[in-house]
Structures are given as C-alpha cells and as structure tokens.
Amino acid sequence: MAMARASSGPAYPERFYAAAAYAGFDGSHNSTSTVSSKFQNDTALLLYALYQQATVGPCNVPKPSSWKAVEQSKWKSWQGLGNMASTEAMRLFVKILEEDDPSWYYRASNSISEISESVVDTQVNHYSKNEPIIKNGNSFPETKTISTENGTLVETQDKDVVSEDVGTVAVYDQWIAPSITGQPPKARYEHGAAIVQDKMYVYGGNHNGRYLNDLHVLDLRSWAWSKVNFKVENESQEGQSPAKLTPCAGHSLIPWENKLLSVAGHTKDPSETIQIKVFHLQSCTWSTLKTYGKAPVSRGGQSVTLVGTSLVIFGGQDAKRSLLNDLHILDLETMTWDEIDAVGVPPSPRSDHAAAVHAERYLLIFGGGSHATCFNDLHVLDMQTMEWTRPTQQGEIPTPRAGHAGVTVGENWFIVGGGDNKSGVSETAVLNMSTLVWSVVTSVQGRVPLASEGLSLVLSSYNGEDVLVSFGGYNGHYSNEVNVLKPSHKSTLQSKITETPVPDTVSAVHNVTNPTRDVDSELEVGQEGKIREIVMDNIDRESWKSRGEGTSLIATLKAEREELDSSLSKEKLQTLHLKQELADAETRNTDLYKELQSVRGQLAAEQSRCFKLEVDVAELRQKLQTMETLQKELELLQRQKAASEQALDANHRQGSGGVWGWLAGTPGGQKVDNA
C-alpha cells in the first residue's frame, strides 16, 4: 500500500518518473551504478525490477549466463514480479523509495523544472530538513513557508491542532496536542498501541524502513512518557545465547488479562505462520504464545479484533507481498486456531484496513488497499451465521483510504487518518454502526500527523470523559506526536440525528455484487418508509413501539443467549477435556516412545553381543577343524613311526647273531670273507 503523500505532489505516472529520476534510473549506461551507490543491494535490485516492470512490462528476455552474476541477479528480481501491472509497479517503486528516503521529493523538486514554483514552495514546507520544534515536551515539525517576493522565511502554525492541556479544554470535537513530559519514542508508523489502566503502550513499528522492537508507555494521568525495560523469556536450552525480541511492524497490539498480545506483523526474517508474542505487565517479560490447530500464514497489515474471548483476524499482506482476504479465529481460552469459510461475498484481498465489532456479533471491515487501489467499501460479517454482506452506506461517506485507524465509542466508530496514494486524509469521520450513516466530526489542514498513514488510535478516559488518543504516523515525515480529541455528546449522536431526513427510499437489502466496484454503483432502492438498521438484522423499528412486546422479545433473546452461553460453556468444557486427553495421550506417547527407544537400545546391544558370539563360535569351529586335521596328521605320523621302528628292529635282528654267534666267530667272519 503506497504511503500517504502531500496533496501538492504530482500524480501518477509523473510522480513515478520523478522518483525514478531521483533514484538514478535515467536510461543511461551508468544508471545501474548510480542506483547501487544510493541503496543497499537488495533495495537496488527491487527498484530495478519495479522500474523495468513499470516501463517495459513483464520480463521476457532470456536468462543471462551464470558467469554474469550481476545481470543474472537483476534478471531474477525482474522475473520474480511475474505479471504485475505497470501501475502497481509504479506505486511500489515510490513506496520503497519513500521508506528508504522519506525526503526524496524535497531533494528531487529542486532539480525538476517541470514542477511548478508553488509545488516547490509546498514541498519545502513539508520536507524541510530543519530540526523539529520541541514544545511542551512534544516534538512538532517546524512549519515554514517561502515568500517568492523577498525570499525570506515566514513561520506559520497550523490552526487546526491546538497545543494545550487536556484537562482545561472546554471545546469538544477538536484535536489538541497535550503538553507531554519525558523522552518520547522514536518517530514511527505501523506500530501497535493499546490502553491498559490509563496507560497507552506503544510497541514496534517502522522508521526509515527499519523495524523496531522497543516498548514505551504514556501515562494518561500525568502525560509523561517512559521506556519499558523488559526481558525476553529464553525458550532455548541452557548454555545457548539469550533470546531476542524480533523487531516488527504492521502488527496488532491487543490487551488481554493484564497482558499485551502482539499479533502477526512484518519481520526481516518472517516465519511460516503467525506468531503471537505476549508481554506480561507484572513481570515485564515477553514470551511466545503456544497455540494449537492450523495457524494462519504470517502477514502484516491485517486487522485483529477482540470479540468476547476470541481474536478475529482478517486479511493483510504476506511475506511475498500477496494480499489476503482469509478469516481466522483464535479462541483465547483453548488457544486453538480455526479457519472460517464464511458464506457470501467477502471483501477483496487487502491490507491496512480498519475493523470493529458491533453488539458482540457483527464484524465491520472498512477501507484498506491493494498495491495500486484504495477502497472505501464497507463489509459486515454476521459471526453467528458466518455470512458476509455489503450494506449500503449513507451520509458523508469517507473517501477511499488505507492505513487509517479506528476506535469504537458505544455504537459509533471513529475513523482517523489514512492515505489515498495522493494525500493524507484530513477528516475525522464517524459511523453509526446501527444505522450505517457516516458524518464528519472535524477536519485538519496542513501536513499534520493526523493526516497520516499508519498512525494508531486508542480510546481512554480523562477526568471521567472519553478521549481519543492518536500517536505517530507517516505523511512524508515520521511522527511521534500525540493528539487528543474529546468526542462531544453531539458527535456521538450525530449519525442518529443525520438519519432523520434520510429519504424514504433507503435500501435495507443486502448487496452481494462484486466487492471491488465503486460504492455509488452498489446503492439499491428498497421499500418506502424504511429507515435502515444494521443490514443483517432487518428489524423494523415499528415493532419496538410497544413496550410490552419489546420486553417480551428481550426476555426471549436473553433466554436464547443463556441457552447459547450454556451450550458454548459445554463445548468449551468438552474442548478443554479433549485438550487434556490430548495432552495425556501425548505424555503417554512420549513415555512409550522413550521406552521403545530404550528397548531398541537394548536390542541393538544384544544384537551386537550375538554377533560377537557368532564370530567367536566361527573362530572356535575353525580352530576345532584345525585341531582335527592336526590330530589326523599326528596319528599318521605315529603309525609311520611305529612302522619304522618295527622295520628297524627286524633289520637289527637279521644283521646280528647275538652274543653267542660273536663268540663263535662265524657270522661276522663269513660276511667279511664273502665280501
């Protein structure tokens, strides 16, 4: 979604060409080196791809060879944009440039002769580099104009934002800048803000394209800023590095049971699914919330609405810049996600819209934008029937916008700020959620934070009165200013008063046509004499004239509600029981797995021992065979020895006559003679 811009700036495509020339895309051969010297590599590649997509169209050129690393990186960046429209590429180009260099247009306007002198004067006013004025502890951009006659600077002050103490203001429906002490947070937008016990907590956000993770608190009784020093619970094992809180922007900050829930948001290294961080107010520690079920894909710029004990999440933009229009609900009692497939025609994919709940039943979605278009359509989801409708709006319907903020006071929904790709929105609008009639509470002039995108808006009380408190935003300057508005009784009921002269041909019929069409084309004519209620009720006000009938209907509704509450309680108890059983089963499963691993270890040890025994047996068998062979050889040798000894004895007996023969002298002498 493109940033909110000064109305004095040129429209598209002139603004894109001015941004491209400033960034260094002048068509020369040295343009790439000029861009690389101004921006980081990732930013330069993305700007190059968007410039090519806007001026040439989708990438159809052949992929460069692998040895041309720079050209291949440029080709991949361009190819990754697919079939993105030229206008969308232009707006994304300007948005990224403004995030990286918020004062680019002021610098560029000095060298662009086509821009008129009055535009130059206005841009110098809005993008002046002079240091901000510190007044009453608050930081206000210094507002100056240039006189073309004598060239002198004349200081001026915006008359629509008054600086004074909140408690002394007698005028209602007017934004004031209260006197604030303490060190204010760094200027930012797309941050999260929430009220807990007369204190406004501000967490995270975006400053100069860098995500933040600091936490500040504004005491709405003393109007003093202070920074919260927190710790992060380390979920890693002992001996590892300490846990760090990931900086984020485009998240939602929700108060819940003395805690703050930071839901989703853009991060430098996004996770696959939405992460919910919990800040414990008593211990000043952050932790990660463990949830069950299928969590939604990670995103930023979504709406998160607390309805009873559930968080309703709609839309946003994922890490790949794809716009979403899915619907998810997180039950904060069971911490279980549920993806809702509602009937009817849902809002078109969008981010930076506003959402509110009416009568704990109806979810209202207003405005938002795609990469190239802003919306001012209104969609309503009946959370009992889970059906989307697009009702007819009446009164002073706000202009298309995105990045606005909203808060409910009773049955009235206040909308502040936002941008429409050309300028910041100056009016503060209010919608009566029962009659769907718009009116304007007040309007500011000039480049003030209230006419910004990405500001926050919360509802608090001061001296027993409701007050709207806005903080931050971006409209060419990042802001850290606080503004307060006291809605009067008149402004709270203004939508109802406006309802009286409404023509008799106001429609109460649901419109289920294409949600991207203009609002004017969606108006329908209904029966005469009907004043429209919230579209899905279709209750004729005439039926409430009878007090007895009304009391009876209320009693019936109360009985039905009690019955539904009872059924809901039973379902929640059953869910808790199932969750406990699941936990027990997981514990048993873990124990069995450990036992199985132990048995597997023992079996592996036994198998190893058996293998060793088999080896030993094989060696013994081999030795036994060797011994048998040796035994046979030994027996053979013994037989041969016995035979040799017998032969030797026989020869000895034959060759000798004994003693008597020797004495006789015959055997030996005969032998000799014969020889």
437 and 322 housed in the same domain: yes
Interstrand relation of 144-146 and 153-155 (parallel, antiparallel or unpaired): antiparallel
Dihedral pair phi/psi, residue 663, rounded to 5°: -65, -35
The answer to whether position 200 is within a domain reads yes
Please tell me whether residues 79 and 178 are part of one structural domain: no
Q: Are residues 374 and 256 in the same domain?
A: yes
* Domain final position from 471, 486, 501: 486
| Numbers of helices and strands, H then E, in the chain | 11, 31
Residue 500 domain flag = no
Contacts of 484 (CB under 8 A, 6+ apart): 166, 175, 176, 177, 178, 462, 467, 468, 469, 470
Residue where a domain terminates, one of 76, 104, 132: 104
Q: Does residue 541 surpass a pLDDT of 70?
A: no
Same domain for 87 and 187, yes or no, is no
Closest CA to 379 of 395, 392, 369, 361: 392
> Do residues 322 and 463 both lie within one domain?
yes
- Does residue 51 lie within any of the structural domains? yes
Same domain? For 363 and 285 the reply is: yes
| pLDDT > 90 fraction of the chain, expressed in percent and rounded | 40
Provide the residue range defining the domain that includes 615.
580-634
pLDDT attached to residue 136: 37
Q: Determine the pLDDT at residue 263.
A: 97
| CATH number of the structural domain spanning residue 363 | 2.120.10.80
The CATH number assigned to the domain holding 72 equals 1.20.80.10
With 0-12 CB in 10 A as exposed, 13-18 as middle and 19+ as buried, what is 29? exposed
Torsion angle of C-alpha atoms 253, 322, 274, 449, degrees rounded to 10: -10
The residue out of 616, 634, 652 marking a domain boundary is: 634
Residue 612 pLDDT greater than 60, yes or no: yes
- Please indicate, yes or no, if residue 133 is contained in any of the structural domains: no
> Does one domain contain both 61 and 192?
no
> Using CA atoms, how far apart are residues 169 and 177, in angstroms rounded to an integer?
11
Residue 499 within any structural domain of the chain: no
The pLDDT tens digits of the residues spanning 54-113 come to 899 999 999 998 888 888 889 998 988 888 878 778 878 888 887 777 777 767 765 543
Q: Is 269 in the same domain as 389?
A: yes
Sign of CA dihedral 569, 572, 578, 584: negative
> Is residue 563 situated within a structural domain?
no
Query: Rounded CA gap, 60 and 82, in Å?
Result: 10
User: From CA 119, how far away is CA 5, in angstroms rounded?
Assistant: 13
Summarize pLDDT for 415-468 with one digit per residue, the tens.
Answer: 999 998 778 899 999 999 999 999 999 988 766 788 899 999 999 988 888 999
Q: Is residue 642 part of a domain?
A: no
**pLDDT score for 601:** 87
Residue 319 sits in the same domain as residue 430: yes
Banded model confidence at residue 163, pLDDT cuts 50, 70, 90: low
Looking at the fold, whether 456 and 597 belong to one and the same domain comes out as no
Whether residue 132 contacts residue 47, with contact meaning beta carbons closer than 8 Å, is answered with no
pLDDT tens, residue by residue, 264-313: 999 998 999 999 999 999 999 999 999 999 999 999 999 999 999 999 99
* Same domain? 91 vs 193: no
Rounded CA separation 118/178 (Å): 32
Residues 186 and 45 in one domain: no
Domain-located, residue 624? yes
Say if strands 276-280 and 259-263 run parallel, antiparallel, or are unpaired.
Answer: antiparallel
Query: In the structure encoding, which two tokens stand for residue 406, read together?
Result: 């909203």
Domains of the chain: total = 3
